[in-house]
Chain A
Amino acid sequence: MKPTLLIANAISKQFGGVKALTDVSLTIRKGEIYGLIGPNGAGKTTFFNVLTGLYHPNGGELLFEGYKLRASAPHLAAQSGIARTFQNIRLFSNMTALENVMVGRHVRTQAGVVGAVLRDPQTRREEADIHRRAEELLHYVGVADRANDLAKHLSYGDQRRLEIARALATEPKLLALDEPAAGMNASETAELRVLIEGIRNDGITVLLIEHDVKLVMGLCDRVAVLDYGVKICEDVPAVVQKNPKVIEAYLGGSVA
């Protein structure tokens, strides 16, 4: 069996009276594509926010590569190797596509004010590396031709891909994608699928929230299902699909 990358241990999160997550535990192994699905409002995005340090959980802990992640310290989560995209794309709109990805390199680079002002050889080298790596990543996700356009002028699909490039720039071990196919047409979704598989083949573990059931079932090694903040099932897609609780959660969701 593959070694473990992330263990979530009884994570809970409440917003006032709303229990967005209740004792959610799950284990993600290195190199897999792990799906997180569930009806709208099930708590998937909330789990991402706890994982990446944007929300402070009310209970539970996260172990990443065996080390406890500090709660609500997003920059430390990124430093440990967790990168993410957002359900509602959050790019730096008035920066170019290239600059967006360059910002992603922040956490793996050093230069401070003194280096910036003096531009010593080491800083120059680092800056050149940032630039080169950002260009490579734009190529990798397929938006190299828009490198010098403002992020907000990119098409929707390109913006989603750019966000993935920015996340990859942080050299993650775990890439968390929040509904990356939302709003994409069939051919864009097919391209996205190739991209995600490529990322996994490069050795990066992928945590995927997705509504497109076909995409999830075709792509993921294992899937966890959340319903009203509770994990109701965690298994390989073929088993999850047949789980009566899952069927009910989805049918209940779509009827309501």
Chain B
Amino acid sequence: MMTFSFDSLRQDKRAAIAATVGIGLVLAVFPFIVGSALGNSWLRILDFALLYIMLALGLNIVVGFAGLLDMGYIAFYAVGAYLYALLASPHFGLHLPVWIIIPCGAVLAGIAGALLGAPTLRLRGDYLAIVTLGFGEIVRIFMNNLNAPVNITNGPQGISSIDPIHLGGVTLAKPLSVLGITVPSLHAYYYLFLALALLIIFVSIRLQDSRIGRAWVAIREDEIAAKACGINTRNIKLLAFTMGASFGGVAGGLFAGFQGFVSPESFNLMESIMILCMVVLGGMGHIPGVILGGVMLTVLPEFFRHSAGPIQQALFGKILLDPEALRMLLFGLALVLVMLYRPAGLWPSTIRRREFSSGTDKEGA
């Protein structure tokens, strides 16, 4: 009996190692496959998908775990992005390295999260959504108008010529040569983003299975009962806002370095809604689901953009509908279908899935 269980344990461990190595290899060669099969535009989309995974996981802490409907989450992405833009561009003549800016961005966004969270602590649901939506817009409008009397953000023109991400003497803007292999810029960004996305996934998982993670979910489930259990709901909610925002700050800094340009337009309400959709559609509170949601909602609109024209050409011989309009239409349709047929999200946690199927069982009985 003992030996049997030890054997199976060892086998489990071996399987886990094999799976890790397998996934690691796939992730390592993935940009080369995408790059050669689909070209550079899809590589950029891949890089963006990783940024959106970070954002979705950050918002998941606030919305998915703690149940606080935050509609202004993009503000923290903006904080991280503008911090990078200000500290590494000719705008102020500062050129700090990425390893200083990104942690600072995480901290600053975290502080912004706590500041914007503090006035909303007594609000829930719709009211919280409206107020956070307002905060998100306020941050964007600040970025838009902080160009006078002192020019900080350069207003609606945004900040351009931002330094590409550089580590030590190495810049990611030019192809790198590692062990004789040439790694193009987009690939290098992919590896950096992947590393940080994995870090954020790791932190999310650790937080979920912890005293703090349970306190978040308890507040989501019943705030009064959570208080009666001795949870300091004010602090624990602020912690959720802070942690979530700091993930957004990291992603924002990476975005600024990758894009080389930031302007207030990148941080509008639509972006907040998009990230919220990633969380809800993927499977609120379930980390693999949220990752899937981030990937799907980055890739799908681009897929429709690229295919809407050619498919019409093939079917009708000419383009009937503007691909851009059709893209949003198809995207909306996809969202509606998911919500109709998978109300708990594309990949809900097993418990929640059981939940929905047992619900239908009862209806059937």
Which residues in A have some Cβ–Cβ distance to B below 8 Å? 52-54, 74-75, 78-79, 83-84, 86, 90-96, 99, 102-113, 115-117, 119, 123, 126-127, 130, 150, 153, 166-167, 169-170
Which listed residue (B210, B212, B228) contacts A84, Cβ 8 A?
B228
Question: Besides the contacts A92-B218, A116-B211, A170-B229, what 9 more A-B pairs have beta carbons closer than 8 Å?
Answer: A74-B228, A74-B230, A75-B230, A78-B229, A79-B230, A94-B217, A104-B230, A106-B230, A150-B355
The reply to whether B214 and A116 form a contact with Cβ atoms under 8 Å apart is no
Interface size of B in residues (CB-CB distance below 8 Å): 31
In the complex, number of A-B residue pairs with CB atoms less than 8 Å apart: 107
A167, B215: Cα distance in complex, Å: 15
A103, B232: Cα distance in complex, Å: 12
Q: Which residues of A contact B287 (CB under 8 A)?
A: none
Residue of A nearest to B358 (CB): A153
The reply to whether A95 and B221 form a contact with Cβ atoms under 8 Å apart is yes
Q: 26 A-B residue contacts at CB 8 Å?
A: A54-B228, A75-B233, A84-B228, A86-B224, A90-B224, A90-B228, A91-B225, A92-B217, A92-B225, A93-B221, A94-B352, A99-B214, A103-B226, A106-B211, A106-B229, A106-B231, A111-B211, A113-B207, A116-B207, A116-B210, A116-B211, A117-B202, A117-B203, A117-B206, A127-B210, A150-B351
Most A C-beta atoms less than 10 A away, residue of B212, B218, B225, B239: B225
Q: How far is the CB of B356 from chain A (nearest CB, A)?
A: 12
Q: How far is the CB of A98 from chain B (nearest CB, A)?
A: 11
Whether a CB of chain A sits under 8 angstroms from the CB of B227 is yes
Q: Which residues of A contact B209 (CB under 8 A)?
A: 116
The reply to whether A75 and B231 form a contact with Cβ atoms under 8 Å apart is yes
Q: Which 8 A-B pairs have the closest CB atoms?
A: A107-B230, A78-B230, A116-B210, A92-B221, A74-B227, A90-B225, A75-B232, A103-B218
Most B C-beta atoms less than 10 A away, residue of A53, A75, A150: A75
Q: Which residues of B contact A102 (CB under 8 A)?
A: 214
Q: How far is the CB of B13 from chain A (nearest CB, A)?
A: 18
A109, B203: Cα distance in complex, Å: 20
Q: How far is the CB of B194 from chain A (nearest CB, A)?
A: 19
The reply to whether A103 and B228 form a contact with Cβ atoms under 8 Å apart is no
Q: Which residues of B contact A91 (CB under 8 A)?
A: 221-222, 225
A166, B202: Cα distance in complex, Å: 29
The reply to whether A52 and B210 form a contact with Cβ atoms under 8 Å apart is no
Q: Which residues of A contact B228 (CB under 8 A)?
A: 52, 54, 74, 78, 83-84, 86, 90, 167
A67, B221: Cα distance in complex, Å: 32
The reply to whether B230 and A170 form a contact with Cβ atoms under 8 Å apart is yes
Q: Would you list which residues of chain B between 200 and 258 have a CB under 8 Å from chain A?
A: 202-203, 206-207, 209-215, 217-218, 221-222, 224-233, 239, 243
The reply to whether A106 and B214 form a contact with Cβ atoms under 8 Å apart is yes
Q: Would you list which residues of chain B between 8 and 61 have a CB under 8 Å from chain A?
A: none
User: With A92-B217, A95-B218 given, is the CB distance from A111 to B225 under 8 Å?
Assistant: no
Q: How far is the CB of B220 from chain A (nearest CB, A)?
A: 8
The reply to whether A107 and B231 form a contact with Cβ atoms under 8 Å apart is yes
Which listed residue (B210, B229, B352) contacts A104, Cβ 8 A?
B229
The reply to whether B211 and A90 form a contact with Cβ atoms under 8 Å apart is no
Q: When each residue 340-351 of chain B gets 1 if its CB lies under 8 Å from chain A and 0 otherwise, what string results?
A: 000000000001
A85, B266: Cα distance in complex, Å: 49
Residue of B nearest to A119 (CB): B206
Q: How far is the CB of A84 from chain B (nearest CB, A)?
A: 6
Q: How far is the CB of A214 from chain B (nearest CB, A)?
A: 28
User: With A94-B352, A117-B206 given, is the CB distance from A127 to B221 under 8 Å?
Assistant: no
